[in-house]
Amino acid sequence: MVKAGGFYTSDWSCARDFFYFVQTLNFRYILAEKQSLMPQKNKKSKKSPAASVFSVRLGYVLGGALGFLLLFQMIQFYELRSKLNFIDSLQDSQTKVVEQISLSQNYLTQFATDLNQIREFLLLPSTDYDFSGLNEDLVFENDDDITTEIFDLITVLGEAEERESIYQNKKAEILEAIPRDLEGVTLSEEETLDGYEWTFTRDENEIDILNISLSYEGDIDYQMFHYKISWEEYQNTDNLFFELELFPNEIATIDILIEKTALVQSFYEEIFFPGEAFQNYLTTKNLSLSSVQIADDQRMYYELKNADDSLIATFNNQNSSVLVTIHTMEALEDNVEEFAPDVSEVDRLISWLEENLDPRTNLEIRLEERKIELSQLMEDRGFISTMEALGMTMSEVVEEEGRLYYSILNSEGEVLRNLVLDYATAELTVEMPTGEAESLSAAILNLSDTKKKLSTYLV
């Protein structure tokens, strides 16, 4: 079946035959009427002229009506065929995209194979390149597949109803178990973005001594002044009820801890931090100390930062002592030590900081590493042998303001290049005798260019 325009040839054949049928039908009406007007030997009576004219007109009317119906049908058929063609074109384009991605995957796989062969030639380990997931995300959704979507809707709706039921049940249980009218304690509660919260605040110092939060997922956090407990959604609330029963009797203990915390904070704020020993330590190491307020709490913690404002240590008030934590980028775990709020601890704390804390900035650390790396390279026997084989030597290190450098000399003692370490950036550059400088990689690239004369590049 051959397609022509928006129709198939069989469709046109059917339409043509239908037109022939209408024309033939109309012709037969006309012929019959003409025959009815001719003299008939076998007929005893003749039709009146008026009846003949009516029959002819009726034939024209019926023929016109059938032609109009055919035209209307063909228009509707054309629109339907256009929509089907559009759907076919979408399916073709989707198929082409999938084919192109598959072809790209084959190209990438072949390229990865060639790349591994090159790596093997260079004695480098090969890498397993996986391109199988390229077309996993290429999913063409069917908008008409409402069955799956309805199943998904029912599933998530059921899960949401279950979560809401757990949340409401736990909320009702907690509301019933919450102790109220505690002396010297104010209870506040509110709906939050994550769920519901209850907060108990001591009236005399306005410190939060207990916070209970219930999330919409059913998780419960029980945050006391001095410890915290959490229960997941799948756990019951019996443990929470047990803690709530003990809470009124713990208020006196919490008051004692609040007093100790105030004493610790007062010691460090008024005696240790302003003291001469600690201030000399800050000045010598170029460090700064700042305080940070803990949310909804009178307690504070303190941050110790170096010259480039990087956090290197914190001082945390632990109710009856201070926990000093040293933060290092290299260590898997931070270095932590506890100190009592006493004058006798001042020397021990500063000595511990001297031994464990690195106050240098990232630039200073990087610069020191580069210095050590260069010094070790200049003493490396393999490096020295390579330079001797090429007729070159390396000068002693020269330190100037803001930099140090090593000179690469030829057999006549002439300077070919200077290896310069910049103190401001910790970057290593290659300096020509003319004073021009470039990066180490750029120097290698330029010297590898065989189109340039070495003599012109040296000066």
pLDDT, residue 117, reads 65
| Domain match, 210 and 291 both | no
| Domain match, 313 and 342 both | yes
Average pLDDT over residues 198-225: 88
pLDDT, residue 223, reads 86
**406 lies in which domain range?**
363-458
Average pLDDT over residues 314-328: 79
| Domain match, 386 and 324 both | no
Average pLDDT over residues 374-401: 91
Mean per-residue pLDDT over the chain, rounded: 76
Residue 399 Cα distances to 166, 357, 422, 433, 437, angstroms: 72, 28, 11, 17, 17
pLDDT, residue 322, reads 82
What would the pLDDT profile of 20-71 be if each residue is shown by its tens digit? 443 444 444 444 444 444 444 444 445 555 556 566 666 666 767 677 677 7
What would the pLDDT profile of 59-90 be if each residue is shown by its tens digit? 666 767 677 677 766 776 666 666 667 666 66
Residue 154 belongs to some domain of the structure: no
Residue whose pair of structure tokens reads 């001797």 in the numeric block: 388
> Three-state DSSP class for 67?
helix
Residue 387 belongs to some domain of the structure: yes
Residue 287 belongs to some domain of the structure: yes
| Domain match, 353 and 403 both | no
- Please, are residues 105 and 112 in contact by the beta-carbon 8 Å criterion? no
Residue 423 belongs to some domain of the structure: yes
pTM above 0.75, yes or no: no
| Domain match, 318 and 367 both | no
Residue 329 has pLDDT above 80, yes or no: no
| Domain match, 367 and 437 both | yes
Residue 11 belongs to some domain of the structure: yes
Q: Which of 216, 232, 258 is the last residue of a domain?
A: 258
Tokens for 233?
Answer: 């959604």
* Residue 443 CB coordination number (10 Å): 18
Residue 145 has pLDDT above 70, yes or no: yes
pLDDT, residue 45, reads 47
Q: What are phi and psi of 453, to 5 degrees?
A: -80, 130
Residue 389 Cα distances to 251, 382, 384, 392, angstroms: 82, 11, 9, 8
What would the pLDDT profile of 358-385 be if each residue is shown by its tens digit? 888 889 989 999 999 999 999 999 999 9
Q: What DSSP character marks residue 140? A: -
Which amino acid, residue 307? A
- Please, are residues 264 and 319 in contact by the beta-carbon 8 Å criterion? yes
Residue 264 belongs to some domain of the structure: no
Candidate ranges 116-125, 294-303, 416-425; pick with highest mean pLDDT: 416-425
| Domain match, 319 and 389 both | no
| Domain match, 323 and 280 both | yes
pLDDT, residue 418, reads 92
CA distance 305 to 313: 7
> Three-state DSSP class for 195?
strand
| Domain match, 391 and 425 both | yes
Residue 429 has pLDDT above 70, yes or no: yes
CA atoms 307, 312, 317, 320: torsion sign: negative
Of the CA atoms within 13 Å of residue 169, those in its CB half-sphere come to 14
CA distance 131 to 111: 11
| Domain match, 346 and 318 both | yes
| Domain match, 347 and 427 both | no
pLDDT, residue 55, reads 65
Q: Which of 258, 285, 315 is the last residue of a domain?
A: 258
Counting the structural domains of the chain, the total is 4
What would the pLDDT profile of 271-308 be if each residue is shown by its tens digit? 888 999 999 999 999 999 988 876 655 567 889 999 88
Q: Which of 229, 258, 287 is the last residue of a domain?
A: 258
pLDDT band with cut points at 50, 70 and 90 for residue 456: very low
pLDDT, residue 321, reads 79
Residue 122 belongs to some domain of the structure: no
Residue 149 belongs to some domain of the structure: no
| Domain match, 234 and 293 both | no
